[in-house]
Chains A and B, each alone.
Chain A
Amino acid sequence: MRITQQMLSSNITSQLQQNLSRYEKANEQVSTGKRINTPSDDPIGVQKSLKLASQLADNEQYERNTDYALSWMETTDQALNSISNALQRANELGLQASNGTNSPEDQQTIAKEIEQLRAEIQDIANTKFDGKYIFNGQKTDQPIQIAEDGNLMYNNQPLMQRMSSSNSIEMNVTGEVFDGQVNLFKTLDQLSGALASGDQEGVSSALEQIETGKEQVLNSWTTLGAKQSRVEGMNQRLKEENLSLQTLVSKNDDVDFAEAIMKLKTEESVYQASLAASAKIIQPSLLDFLR
């Protein structure tokens, strides 16, 4: 083949161009740390990348949901604990009052204390978390209405938190814990009334009621505990899934740095070599050697 100077220079230009563009691509991968910078870098990979990012977003959402549910349940747990303690105290006071060694004045004092306990439970019934009344079902903007006679008005619809696309949990305990088999307020009223009037039979029947009330609270509490551990398990699983999703995203999107840097170095030396070779080849012509 006949070689001309024009061929040399056009060849050199196009090859330098190609080397430089490969060098640039390698540099882009190293400097962004991403294997896929435009969809055409890997059309299948880019779809996978979008899908994984979306799954990751879902997962983080569910993780936030379970975190929220856990805090909510923690508050409920404390409230139920206080109710349980109050009922226990009422029970003790009732037993103390019914042993027949108390003066009417003492009975009165005990009755007063029972009334205090009733007020305490009433306060607990309107516990707030994140600005919401936790025992009033879906009407979290309103407190439970407790009448003088102990009758309750509350909403018992569930508050659902989603833990996955197909799995949700009812995180709230409704007013039923105060007004289920027995009405706690009415029972306490009955106890304090019986104490004040010295009605021993009334006291013992109220004490039986309190026993049932304690069980009523305990049942809710146990269910809540079981739910809590379910949500905690879910939360843990979501965190683990998050980690493995992030690993997948990284595998799909990120460059292998060692490889990318090797490639960059190779492209760099190829480019420099081609520059050096071009500089040598372009110079001499027959002219340099004539006369």
Chain B
Amino acid sequence: MTSTFHGLEVGKRSLYTQQTALTTTGNNISNANTPGYSRQRVDMQATSSIPYPYQTGSSSSQLGTGVSVESIERIRSGYLDSQYRERNGQLGAESTKLETLQQIEKMTREPGNGLSASLDRFFSAWEDLASNPDSLAARAVLVERSEELLSQGKTLNDGLASLSRSLDEQMTAVNDQITAISSQIDRLNKEIALKPEANELKDRRDLLMDEMSGLNAQNTGKLEGLKQSLSEVNHFQSDLNEVFNQLINGSGMNDLMTTGDSLVKDANGTMQKGKVMFDTSGTGDTFLETVSVNQEVKANPATIAASSTNSAVSNGDIATTISDLKNETLSFDVANSNVNAEASVGDFYGMLISKIGAKSQASERSVESHQAVLTSIDQNRMSVSGVSLDEEMSNLIQFQHAYNAAARYVSTTDELLDVIINRMGV
């Protein structure tokens, strides 16, 4: 025998459950744009049935007792999360590297206005002097070209040094960020341990772990990207310095300039030995910081040696030999390699530029592919966990109707009770 008020209980359960579903729908709609939010679903379950007493058939039947909320779940795929984080780490590393490589590329101002053109103009000025060894104008131009070449090198060198410093600073900042996120995740873990069903805490933790994956994961993430960037910058800087080291010292240019004879004459009309063009006695961490154009030469370009004899002003042997250094094969100590590169100055520098370009291009392609894969994983994730307003609206209507019907059922039950209580036997 069922209770007289069984019907009311069934109606009440339905009202509660449909209302919970409505509230959850409302919550989903509210959080449609909340980052990291996973849509929630009310898991409804029919409550346990009771034996039906008036059955006439042979087997006993069970009478349903309504509905209850089993749980409110968030819908999320752990597999997609782990895929997303793996890719995000790779993208974080690669895009950081790409940014650095592109910065180096921009700094070189190649092709067009970079060191290569200055190098050509520098040797061209020597060739001009070789063709007009007695010309003061050619010497003045040569001094200017030397200044230009050196200032191109120094600007690039300074730029690389400051890039390297800024990468160091970024690394500190990223480390701070990682510590901050770790401690937040730690706190959330403790809270979740106490309240294992808290969907919003889990969403927050997942969001933080997404963020963390971009910064630091196993051998990937922004931190790793910064480390690789730093080594790229340092290698390029050391190669750049090697270019100037070989040009000035390795080629024997300075020695040639002091063995040759300048336009400056003593009282007997004998031409005096020349002065070095590049003064390498400065101090600094890198070779380029120690080099400057010799003050004596700058003050008096006549001190530049072009001649191999101290009696003839139109002898240009030394200038010719120096201008030939343009095509001289020198031995460059390449950063991060045991083998020296044998090439002319221009070719070695061209190779450096080409190397940076190729690295940057490869990095750009790899960023593009990581990005594409990441987008598709994220799309899948959103497809699973994201809030669809259309879906929520139709749910809303569905639950509203169910709620209305349940309310109607309660009033019907009420009418039934009214008949029993107020009108039977009166």
Kindly provide the distance from the CB of A199 to the nearest chain B CB, expressed in whole angstroms: 41
Q: Are A46 and B327 in contact, CB atoms less than 8 angstroms apart?
A: no
With A6-B32, A11-B379, A51-B350: A40-B102 Cβ-Cβ less than 8 Å:
yes
Interface: B217 (CB within 8 A): no
A47 x B387 contact (CB < 8 A): no
Residues of chain A within 8 A of B380, CB atoms compared: 1
Select B383's contact among A2, A132, A253, beta carbons within 8 Å: A2
**A157 at the B interface (CB under 8 A):** yes
A27-47: CB near B (< 8 Å → 1, else 0) gives: 000000010101111111011
A155: CB under 8 A from chain B?
Answer: yes
CB distance from B334 to the nearest CB of A (A): 16
Once the chains are docked, how many angstroms separate the CA of A192 from the CA of B88? 102
| Contact A51–B346 (Cβ < 8 Å) | yes
A290 to B380, CA, bound (A): 29
Q: In this assembly, does B315 line the interface, its C-beta being within 8 Å of a C-beta of chain A? A: yes
Q: Does any Cβ of A come within 8 Å of B225's Cβ?
A: no
Q: With a CB–CB cut-off of 8 A, which chain B residues contact A140?
A: 134, 313-314
Counting CB contacts under 8 A, is A138 at the interface? yes
Number of interface residues of B (CB under 8 A): 65
Q: Choose the segment among A158-166, A207-215, A233-241 that binds chain B (4+ C-beta atoms closer than 8 Å).
A: A158-166
Q: B96: shortest Cβ distance to chain A, in Å?
A: 16
Instruction: Name the residue on A nearest B378 (C-beta).
Output: A10
Chain B contacts with A in 341-397, Cβ cutoff 8 A: 346-347, 349-351, 353-358, 360-361, 364, 375, 378-380, 382-384, 386-391, 393-394, 397
**Does A99 touch B at the CB level, under 8 Å?**
no
Instruction: Quote the shortest CB–CB distance from A15 to chain B (angstroms).
Output: 9
Cα of A107 to Cα of B394 in the assembled complex, Å = 134
Question: Smallest CB-CB separation from A14: which chain B residue?
Answer: B375
Q: Any chain A CB within 8 A of the CB of B311?
A: yes
Given contacts A140-B313, A162-B127, contact A38 B116 (CB under 8 A): no
A7 touches B382 (CB 8 A): yes
With A1-B383, A39-B354, A286-B394 as contacts: A50 and B116 at CB distance below 8 Å: yes
Pick the residue among A14, A47, A157, A253 that contacts B350 (CB under 8 A): A47
- Assess whether A5 is interfacial by the CB under 8 Å rule: yes
Interface pair A6/B102, CB less than 8 Å apart? no
Q: Which residues of A lie under 8 Å from residue B307 when comparing CB positions?
A: 138
Contacts of B123 in A (CB 8 A): 57
Query: Are B32 and A54 interface neighbours, CB within 8 A?
Result: no
Q: Which residues of B contact A98 (CB under 8 A)?
A: none
- Does A54 lie within 8 Å of B346, measured CB to CB? yes
Which of B32, B106, B313, B394 has a CB less than 8 Å from the CB of A5?
Answer: B32
Is A275 in contact with chain B by the CB < 8 A criterion?
Answer: no
- In whole angstroms, how far apart are the Cα atoms of A130 and B128 in the complex? 14
In the complex with contacts A40-B105, A54-B346, A138-B315 CB distance below 8 A? yes
Tell me if A4 is interfacial: C-beta within 8 Å of chain B.
yes
Cross-chain contact A157 with B120 (CB below 8 angstroms): no
| Contact A57 B124, beta carbon cutoff 8 Å | yes
- Complex: how many Å from CA A140 to CA B394? 101
A10 near B382 with CB under 8 A, answer yes
- Complex contacts, B111 vs chain A, CB 8 Å: 36, 39, 46, 49-50, 53, 253
Query: Is the Cβ of A285 less than 8 Å from the Cβ of B314?
Result: no
* Contact (Cβ within 8 A) B384 A7: no
Q: Does A170 sit at the interface, judged by CB under 8 A?
A: no
* Chain A residue with Cβ nearest B317: A160
- With A286-B394, A287-B393 known as contacts, the answer to whether A6 contacts B134 (CB < 8 A) is no
B314:A132 contact, CB within 8 angstroms: yes
User: From B131, which residue of chain A is reached at the shortest CB distance?
Assistant: A65
What is the 8 Å Cβ interface bit string for chain A, positions 49-74, against chain B (1 contact, 0 not)? Answer: 11101100110110011001000000
> With A and B bound together, what is the CA distance between A40 and B355 in angstroms?
9
A147: Cβ under 8 A from any B Cβ: no
Cα of A5 to Cα of B386 in the assembled complex, Å:
8
Closest 9 A-B residue pairs measured CB to CB? A39-B357, A138-B312, A43-B357, A4-B386, A40-B360, A43-B358, A57-B120, A47-B354, A140-B314
Residues of B participating in the A interface, judged by any CB pair closer than 8 Å: 32-33, 101-102, 105-106, 108, 110-112, 116-117, 119-121, 123-124, 127-128, 130-132, 134, 307, 309, 311-316, 320, 324, 326-327, 346-347, 349-351, 353-358, 360-361, 364, 375, 378-380, 382-384, 386-391, 393-394, 397
A-B CB contact pairs (8 Å), 19 listed: A4-B388, A5-B387, A7-B383, A14-B375, A39-B357, A40-B357, A40-B361, A46-B357, A50-B111, A51-B347, A54-B116, A54-B346, A132-B314, A157-B312, A160-B316, A162-B320, A285-B393, A286-B393, A287-B389
The interface of chain A, by Cβ under 8 A from chain B, is 1-7, 10-11, 14, 34, 36, 38-44, 46-47, 49-51, 53-54, 57-58, 60-61, 64-65, 68, 130, 132, 137-141, 155, 157, 159-162, 165, 253, 285-287, 290
